[in-house]
Amino acid sequence: MLDSIQRYAGPLIAVLANLGFTLMDAAAQSCTQHGLAPGQVAFSRMLLTLPFIAIYIIFRQPALLDQLDPRSRPFQHKEAIAAEPETLLVRNPALAARLIWLRSFLTSVELCLMYAALSRIPLSEFVSVFMTRAFLIGFLCWILLKEAFGWRLQLAAGISTIAVALIVQPPFLFGDPVSGDAGTRVSGFLLCLACFIVDTLEMVVLRAIGAGPNPSIMMLGYATTCVLVGPCFMLVAGESFTWPTTSLVYFELAVVAGIGLVAQLAFVKAMQMETGGIMSVISYAQIPMSLLVQCLAVGTIPNVLQVLGMGAILISGVWAVPLMAQISEKRKEEEGEIDGSRTDSYTLLPVQADPEGQSTK
């Protein structure tokens, strides 16, 4: 039992992260319904998160701050390199730091775009477009990072995409009437498309960074960047800052920040353990989770199509993800690239030389 949990720790952590994102998104959407601007919700979430993660790192693990320094130098002694896992952080810490900040910027922009899109189009339509990113993430990770994106994951992604449409039943597919003017809907879909592109790039960059950086330092970079990006997005989008009028809104913001912190740490850890293709397929689990949360909150019962869709996502994911994770694990063991935990070393990323002019790889 313990061996099975350890073997599939990455997918299990990813499922828990998606559950956290589901609860966070529900609370964030409620905040926007209470009059807060999308950029303000993103800014407030990270403004509450930043002090906690910064205090923890400064007082408990101050050495981690070097992982955010783009001026960092690679290890100078081959003995130190041999004692460390073969990761980008070890081979080229300066590049790793730059990628961490790039990923933080992309994730901050994505968060603002997502909340802005959800304020203009229904969640069902947003999800139907956004979740198709699984194919692009898997393809890019295969092309750029040489990660496996086999037919099992492709089939699971295709089945899950169709299942998403059955679950959320978007008006543009099922012909249901929609409210709002055409201009608002067009802007909503454009924001959704932008979110789609930015999130895909963010996932690829996160996989390129690999398993070296501590998830808490990744969260610190994300929170710091989002505190700066949020107000800028509000200015560009013409949003206005509104003080919460009730204690319920403050509570919802605290829920968004707290659950978002735990979910983001779990997500980064899972991304360091699994391929982009596997993580993109697991992300489909958010859809049945969202439906169940909505049913519990509103008191509705899923219809037949929704039940079929949830079953399709569950069955295809359980079939494809463990098999691909096992194949990936076995391949790394055969290549001698695993030592107790997964590490990543991509040949397309530059390697700095040591003082003697020899590669530190």
Per-residue pLDDT of the chain (361 residues; tens, 9 = 90+): 556 566 678 888 988 998 898 888 888 888 888 888 888 888 899 999 999 999 999 999 888 888 898 887 665 434 444 444 577 888 888 899 999 999 999 999 998 888 888 778 777 678 778 888 888 898 899 898 888 888 888 888 888 888 888 877 766 666 665 556 777 888 888 998 999 999 999 999 999 998 888 999 999 999 999 999 989 888 887 888 888 888 888 999 999 999 999 999 999 998 888 888 888 888 888 888 877 877 777 667 777 888 888 888 888 887 887 777 666 666 655 555 444 444 444 444 544 444 444 443 3
Give dist(CA 75, CA 86) in Å, integer: 12
Query: Which residue, chain included where needed, has tokens 């695993």?
Result: 338
pLDDT at res. 265: 93
**b (16+ CB within 10 A) / e for 126-137:** bbbbbbbbbbbb
Q: What are phi and psi of 359, to 5 degrees?
A: -65, 140
Q: What are phi and psi of 354, to 5 degrees?
A: -80, 175
308 residue type, one letter: L
Q: How far out from the chain centre does Cα 143 lie?
A: 20
**b (16+ CB within 10 A) / e for 150-178:** eebbbebbebbbebbbbbbbbbeeeeeee
Q: Is the dihedral of CA 322, 324, 327, 328 positive or negative?
A: negative
pLDDT at res. 336: 52
Give dist(CA 301, CA 319) in Å, integer: 27
Give dist(CA 37, CA 19) in Å, integer: 24
pLDDT at res. 83: 40
Please state the pTM of the whole predicted model.
0.79
pLDDT at res. 263: 93
The tokens of 9 are what?
Answer: 């720790």
- Cα–Cα distance list, 265 to 18, 26, 119, 270, 293 (Å): 11, 19, 26, 9, 22
> Residue 211 in 3-state DSSP?
coil
Give dist(CA 289, CA 143) in Å, integer: 31
Give dist(CA 352, CA 342) in Å, integer: 22
Give dist(CA 212, CA 225) in Å, integer: 20
Give dist(CA 63, CA 55) in Å, integer: 13
